[in-house]
Structures are given as structure tokens and as C-alpha cells.
Structure 1
């Protein structure tokens, strides 16, 4: 039975906003996907952006088989305490040898910790769907993308992205907008795998999140006004709710195929990550690791015990 730590990338305000527009937090959404894919897995959620964040009493990173870091409305480049605390968590995760997965924000955090660069994508944002993603030669043989077609679309909402992959990483997928759509990062004994797109996001949540980003969509020149964004979001939401007999026509209008419409296809990277974890092929279980709140400082510290005798503290 897998034990997974799901770290919500949003701060308190971001989590409240996400609940208001989509009905649940990003961590809860991921936990729901994990429950569908692997019903016997145990998920524990944590909010590492918060200064008082902590694991359940007596638990450490070494008590988990893997970590998932969700998307977020934060930006790595802002360097706020909420950002630094999450960089610390990812650094501790690498140090502990704990396998990890993340989408969007999660991938950016992992790349920056390992020596890469994340920031505003000079080729523009992706709002709604990342189109024509293709595996790199290395990605075609990588277990994270096992089962992917030669090209696919996926839910995506982002301004920032990984602009420079960290040393020693392997870029697994790309498209015309972004050179790093999926990546595998080995760093300090740990392995992170993730995507810039959102394999965890269902179409109803995508429509809600996209609608809340209407100003950014307009500013990017992708829609003339709020009414156009609203109409597009309504069409996505209608596709989610459409009976089977009507889905084909609705999907045709949006140019979408089974890679987005079918949950088993849309969630493929998460399913592959979990399957490799369950087989024990992702990496060895982490060394015994503790994560505690630094009551005297400005946030959580990630104290590593066992094979790594070091500590990272939020500045």
C-alpha cells in the first residue's frame, strides 16, 4: 500500500480562491485522482507555503513512498517566504531520496532547486490546453510517458515555465510553445518526474480556473474580451457534462481527442508514476527523514536524519 504526501503549492489565499472557484483545493483534487487510480493508496496533504505547516505528529518524509507537489498561483521568481518554504521542501525531498512528481508549479520548483531556471515564458502562456506535445527521443523510451501517442494535447494554464533545464536532467516532452513540457530530474540522490501541463485536471475544473484567469487571457491576446473567455469556458464545462451521444460534436468544436476527453489518457503520467512506485522501480524508499516547524524562525525547516546529515532552513 502506497503512502503519498501531497503538498499543495498554494498559500492560504490561493487555496481559498481555488475552493471558491472549483470547490476543492489542488491537493484535494490530486488526492481524488490518486484515489481513482490506486484506491488503496493513503494520501496525506500538507500546505508547505504556510509558516506553521507540519506533517502529522511523529511523521517524517521517510514515512512516505512518494511526494506530489501541485500547481500554484505563486511565482518562483517572487522569492517570498511561501515560495522559499516550498523550495526547502523540494530540496529535502531530493536529499531524502524520496521519489516525487509535480505538475506546473511543482515542476518549476523542482527544476529551480536542482539548478535550472523558471520564469515568464518568452513565447507566451498556455491557457486552456497545451497543443501538439511531442516526446523527445529520450521521452519516447521513458516510463513516465509510457502509452502516450506520438503527439497529444493536455489541460494547461501557465504564464511561467521551466526556461532552462537543470544540469543532468532529461527533457521528456516539448511543443511549439515550450521546450520543457515534461522532465525527469535526478539530483542529490532523488528523482523528480513531472509535467508543465496538468494531467490531474478535469474539464470542469479547467473551465472554472480558466474563467478566473480571464484578465490574463485577454492580456495575452488570446481573447478579445471577458465575454469571449466566458463563452469558451462554458463550452469546456458543457463538454465535461455532455452525455456520450453529444460529446463527439462538442469535442470537435474544441479540437479535442481522447487524450483530453478520457480520464485514463489525460492522467497517464500520474498513473505511470504511481505504478512505478508500487513496483518499487522509481527509486529506493527514502531514508528516515523528519520535517518539523522551526518555531524560533520564519517557517518550516527540513531536518534530514539518516544517510544525509544536513538541514535546510527557510531564510
Structure 2
């Protein structure tokens, strides 16, 4: 049995907002995906942004840590950020495998000496397009099974701008050099993606509605009505992926996004090729 600590990157208000539009918190989304991919896993949910947070299980009794996305900004600092940096630092120091998407990547890069900030090339809203491996990522197990280029759910303004010394950048695209990365700190290993392999399209649609003003400000939609129409189309495609090829064609959504097993490939690779391998070795 695997014991996985799932840390929600949001503080209380962010968790409440996310739950109000998605019907579950970011940590609950991840727990559902992890347990689908690893039926023998037990997920222990934590909220390390909170001052009164108590880990439901000791790090040393866990097989891995997973850190979700967040509405926080690493560069803003503050106790909610510091507490999460401390948790990831402690997990890596304990030799745990750690996975994170979006916020999780930014936290891991920061504690290892890199820099996360607003992406000067602009945000990615909805899908990150045409991601491809770097030479260093060509045979990396995190990306095993991905085609030469792929799209993935993504919603972010911030990103890893300067990867930490000694890290390995595994994938990027024309919007961002660091779409996937490996970071090693002592005996701990972090694998992560700036994009969101855990998100279904209905959750992407809900999160886009929350970010409507930002999407319009970035020039990606002419107005909020257009954004909501786009979100409606994503939601409808999620509800009937096989019966709406017209929506998949119009939105440019391929099987790498539509098929859950393919969309979640990095999470499955993390479990099978890092967590279980380390568990057997131990």
C-alpha cells in the first residue's frame, strides 16, 4: 500500500473559491486521480498554507508528496508561501519523491535556488500548446509515452523563469522554457510540470471562468462573453468527448488532452517509475 501526502497549495479562501466552482478542492482532485492510477494508494490530504495546519501523517511514514496548484504567488512571500516551501524542503531532505504541477513546480524551483515570477512571454490559459522535450528530456521517465509534441491543460501567469542550479529542464514550448523539470535536493527527487495533467476539461472551464478578467486582459478573448462561450465548449466536450468531434476540432483538442490516461501520463509515470521504484529499493 502506498501512502501519499497530497498538499493543497491554496490558503483557506482559495480552497473555498475553488470548491465553489469545481465542486472539490485541488487536493481532492489530485487524490481522485492518484487513487484511480494507483488503487492501492491511500491519500492523506493536508493544507500547509494554513497557520494551524497539522500533517495527517508524518513525512517519514509517506511514500511521496504531491503539491497542487494555487492562486498564491511565490514572489509575494508571506507565511502561507513560506510554510509550503518548508514542507517541500523537508520532504526532499527526507528523501521523498515529490510531484507538483504549476504552483508545485514554482515552489520546488524556488527552494532549490531558482526563480519563479510572472512569465514575461505572457500567461497560458486553457491549454499549453506544442510542448516538446528538450534533449535532456528525450528519454526521461517522467515523459515516457508522450508523443514528439503535445498539448496539456494549463492556467498560469507565473512560471519558473530561472531553473535552479543542477536541475534538468525536460520540456518547454514557445511560451515557456520550463514546462517540465527534474530537481534533485540531497536524496529527494522532484518531478513536475508547469501544466496541469490532473485537470479534466470541466475543471479547466470552471477555472477559466474565475480568470475571465485576466484572459481578456491578456488579449486571448475579446470580452468575458467570449471567454464564457469558450468555457462552455470545453465543459460540453468533457461531458461527451466521443460524441462531440465538432467541439474537439473547433477547439483544437487532441487525444493527449481528451483521453484521461494520456492526459495524466506524467502522474502515472511518477507513481510507477519513481515512487514504486524507490519503495521497492527501500
Contact 1:65 1:277 in 2 (8 A): no
| Change beyond 3 A, Cα 1:82–1:243 | closer
1:275 matches 2:272: yes
Structure number with higher helix proportion:
2
Give the aligned partner of residue 54 of structure 1.
Answer: 54
Residues 97 and 275 in structure 2, CA contact (< 8 A), matched pair in contact too: no
Deviations 1:246-285 (A, max 9, x none): 2322100101110000000000000000112453248966
What do the CA deviations read for 1:190-225 (whole angstroms, capped 9, x no partner)? 110000000000001110011110011011111111
Cα distance in structure 2, aligned partners of 1:283 and 1:133: 32
**Correspondence 1:20 to 2:29:** no
Unaligned runs of 5+ in 1: 286-315
RMSD between aligned alpha carbons? 1.3
Partners of 2:22 and 2:203 within 8 A in 1 = yes
Q: How does 1:242-257 map to 2 (within 5 A)?
A: 242=240, 244=242, 246-257=243-254
Change (3 A) 1:275 1:21: same
Deviations 1:26-46 (A, max 9, x none): 000000001111111010000
Provide the residue aligned with 2:2 in structure 1. 2
Rounded to whole Å, the distance in 1 between the matches of 2:144 and 2:253 is 21
Structure 1 residues 278 and 110, CA gap change in structure 2 (3 angstroms): closer
Greater CA deviation, 275-284 or 138-147?
275-284
Query: Normalising by the residue count of structure 2, what TM-score does the alignment of the two structures yield?
Result: 0.97
Cα distance change of structure 1 residues 90 and 82 upon mapping to structure 2, 3 Å threshold: same
SS of the residue 2:4 aligns to: strand
Q: Select the structure with the greater relative contact order (CA < 8 A; seq sep ≥ 6).
A: 1
- 3-state DSSP class of the match of 2:228? helix
Distance in 2 (CA, whole Å) between partners of 1:272 and 1:283 is: 15
Correspondence for 1:290? none
Aligned mates of 2:31, 2:88 — CA distance in 1: 19
Q: Paired residue for 2:189?
A: 191
Aligned mate of 1:90, from 88, 96, 103: 88
Closer, same or farther in 2 for the Cα pair 1:243/1:188, shift >3 Å?
Answer: closer
Check whether the contact 2:131–2:149 (CA below 8 A) recurs between aligned residues. Answer: yes
- The answer to which of 217-226 and 6-15 deviates more is 217-226
Distance 1:137 1:283, change over 3 A: farther
Q: Check conservation: 1:91, 1:113, Cα contact below 8 A.
A: yes
The aligned residue for residue 152 of structure 1 is 150
Residue 257 of structure 2 corresponds to 260
Counterpart Cα distance in 2 of 1:268 and 1:226: 32
Is residue 2:241 matched to residue 1:239? no
Correspondence for 2:63: 65
Residue 244 of structure 2 aligns to a residue in which SS?
helix
Counterpart in 2 of 1:295? none
Determine helix, strand or coil for the equivalent of 1:177: coil
Q: For residue 11 of structure 1, what is the aligned residue in structure 2?
A: 11
Q: Secondary structure at the match of 2:160?
A: strand
| DSSP 3-state at the match of 2:82 | helix
Unaligned stretches of 5+ in structure 2?
none
- For the residues of structure 2 that align with 1:67 and 1:126, how far apart are their CA atoms? 26
